[in-house]
Amino acid sequence: MTQQLPLRGLKVLDISQGIAGPNCAMMLALQGAEVVKVEPPRGDWMRTIGVRYGKQSAHSAAYNRGKKSIVLDLKNPVALAATRRLAAEADVFVENFRPGAVNRLGLGYDEVAADNPGLVYVSISGFGQHGPYSDRPCTDTVAQAFSGMMTVNRAMDDSPVKMGAFFIDAFTGLYAFQAVSMALYGRRDSGAGQYLDISLMQSVAAMLTPNIMEQYVQNGPPRLPNVPGGVYQTKDGWMLATLLREQQYRDLCAVLGLPELAQDPRFDDFDKRDANKAALLPLLQAAFLDDTTANWEARLREVDVLCGPVNSILDWLGDPHVQAVNAAPMFSQPDLGAVPLPTIPGVSPASEGDPLHKLPDVGEHTRAVLEDLGLDAADVEALVKEAATVA
């Protein structure tokens, strides 16, 4: 596939940290935009999430590729003035400061758009720019709890479960990317920019739209949708079995050697199985322990029961299908070495040496970007020296 880079020639200023904002800006970079990422002297805090490899983490490597990295301390008047000049030349501005913080720096939408009316300006926050919770700190996990997502993502014992990956942050970045893309599309004819208020709260709500509708109509959580579908321990691991039709429940019982459960009036439809799952699930679990995941998977697939092993990440990477379609090609990144880089749908896979997927070193482009901006040589040297102190 040849990448067409539809955003080539556009300039993006990314002063965000974490995942949501950087993910939005990274998606713009992978479509050809020139993205300048401004980091504070201490560095983007995303670089410290999880294991740190030199000045990077796996999260920073995932969400900062394809960008130019500069280090500017926005408490320094010269650095702040340089950032304002970058904003005046940008097509897109991405920030995720606490609501009101950019205004105090003179980088708010009204200030920047006054000199750059075609700017698409994106503010990403936990609860949005307005409302009683706008100043509350919010993380991916807080958004999962606040939104009700944890109660939708229930374990088989009905306890709420937190997702282990930062999905809300990542999806918020994707929603921001699509909103920016549409604003840029609209700007082609009107020439007018746009202010976009993107929040984790609203993003997770958009993801949960059918669940929100259903719970409103039902005045509470509905039954689990496919009992006894779920995760079961086997003799050598774990596997998932899921059901869409009543026949699949009967077939599951037959394969497990429990045909009597298919005739039991307590379990003869999805509603009754949900109501009586405390009695049903232990019987099924005990049967699954009698054989291996691979054997159960083969037997259940023969009768068209949806199932599969519960893989680890490394299991997924080594799967023959993943390997055959090159779903995560290896790519060398600073400090991390060669790592698998999953292909984003619609984006050309990473190939060694491709600058679109390369992670910049912290502050790598500070001098070049500031010189292109036309700053005084002495100011450039002072800011470059300051950038070199990044831990």
Active site residues: 169
335 within 8 A of 54, measured Cβ to Cβ: yes
Instruction: Please report, as a single letter, which amino acid is at residue 9.
Output: G
**In the structure encoding, which two tokens stand for residue 208, read together?**
């949960």
Within the chain, residue ranges assigned H as helices are 20-30, 58-63, 77-89, 101-104, 109-115, 140-147, 149-152, 167-190, 200-207, 209-218, 246-255, 259-263, 270-275, 277-288, 293-302, 313-318, 320-324, 366-372, 377-387
Task: Quickly list DSSP for 71-126.
Answer: E--TTSHHHHHHHHHHHHH-SEEEE-PSTTHHHHTT-SHHHHHHH-TT-EEEEEES
Do the beta carbons of residue 140 and residue 166 sit within 8 Å? yes
Give yes or no for a contact between 252 and 240, defined as CB atoms under 8 angstroms apart: no
Rounded Cα–Cα distance for residues 328 and 318 (Å):
10
Angstrom distances, CA of residue 11 to CA of 8, 14, 77, 184, 366:
9, 10, 23, 12, 16
Termini Cα distance of the chain: 39
* Under 8 Å between Cβ of 353 and 331: no
Question: Token pair of 275, please?
Answer: 């109501």
- Residue 294: CB atoms within 10 A of its CB come to 14
Q: How far apart are CA 221 and CA 229, in angstroms?
A: 18
